[in-house]
Amino acid sequence: MEITYTKHGDYYYPDLALPPQPTGDIGRFGRMRKKYLKEHQPDTFALMLMENTLTQHLIDIDRQANEQIDRITSQLAQAEGVTEDLKARDQLVWIQAMNSCRARAEELVIREIVLA
């Protein structure tokens, strides 16, 4: 790697530029993963930060977590008989059952993906 310099006044400054940053939403689970890495795995956090891989990792974790939550929620709802028929008959019971399924799915995903 060759470093070039630009003269500003009497001084030469190196022409440094950061590589392009990945674009995307880090999201809730990405932020949780970042906090976990910072508090419990500071060496890994620092290495990923220096190698410029942290942002992409956080985006990937958030995407994986959301996909997994959607998949597990639908599986739990199907296993427990939470259907559109129940939604039509009693919306409050349906909402309560779906919220329960979603909360259990989030707990599982946080344990398996975010805190892994």
Tokens 């030469």, located at residue:
12
Q: pLDDT, tens digit, for every residue of 17-44?
A: 877 888 888 999 999 999 999 999 999 9
Q: Tell me which residue of 22, 33, 8 sits closest to 113, measured CA to CA.
A: 33
Non-local (6+) Cβ contacts of 57 within 8 A are 33, 48
| Predicted pLDDT of residue 23 | 84
pLDDT tens digits, 63-106 = 999 999 999 999 999 999 999 999 999 999 999 999 999 999 99
CA–CA separation, 47 and 79 (whole Å): 42
Residue 20: per-residue pLDDT: 83
Q: H or E segment at 7?
A: strand 5-8
Domain definitions of the chain by residue range = 26-114
- Both ends of the chain: CA-CA distance in Å? 36
pTM: 0.80
> What is the distance between the alpha carbons of residues 99 and 39, in angstroms, rounded to a whole number?
30
